[in-house]
Amino acid sequence: MKQINFLLLMLLIAACAQAQQSPILSVADFEKQIANNSAKVLDVRTPTEFKSGHLAQAILMNINDADFKQQISILQKDKPVYVYCAAGVRSNKAAKVLRQQGFTQVFELRGGIQAWQAAGKPVTR
């Protein structure tokens, strides 16, 4: 019985830890959270992509830059960080790096800026 209780406890802890790691938010949820928060919004695409259109409050930090880890070191690790790219692949990679570096609240935009624009949301050029 103790083994079953221990196993259930471990599964519960693992499920909670996974749920807290990097939620992937819908466009609507992402928009709400960045509007109601003084959180940092990171665009992890290239400078050319950024210039073609980005979220108004976004900061460009290209995930492919050799000094990406150094760039994110200026951010507060205990504050929310919202990440997006074109479609979601690079933002997922960036979110993993952020978590590895000790960031506790990392959120990704599902479908990236492509989903944002498809939903009719504004971008800044």
The CA-atom distances, in angstroms, between 83 and each of 14, 65, 105 are 24, 16, 11
pLDDT (tens place) for every residue of the chain, 125 residues total: 566 554 444 444 544 444 444 599 999 999 999 997 688 999 999 999 999 999 999 999 999 999 999 999 999 999 999 999 999 999 999 999 999 999 999 999 999 999 999 999 999 99
Cα separation, 105 vs 80, in Å, equals: 5
Residue 6, pLDDT score: 45
Cα separation, 111 vs 61, in Å, equals: 18
pTM, rounded to two decimals? 0.82
Q: Which residues are catalytic?
A: 85
* In the block, residue with structure tokens 């960080």: 81
Q: Using one digit for the tens of pLDDT, what is the confidence trace for 106-124?
A: 999 999 999 999 999 999 9
Residue 1, pLDDT score: 58
Domains and CATH numbers, the chain: 22-118 (3.40.250.10)
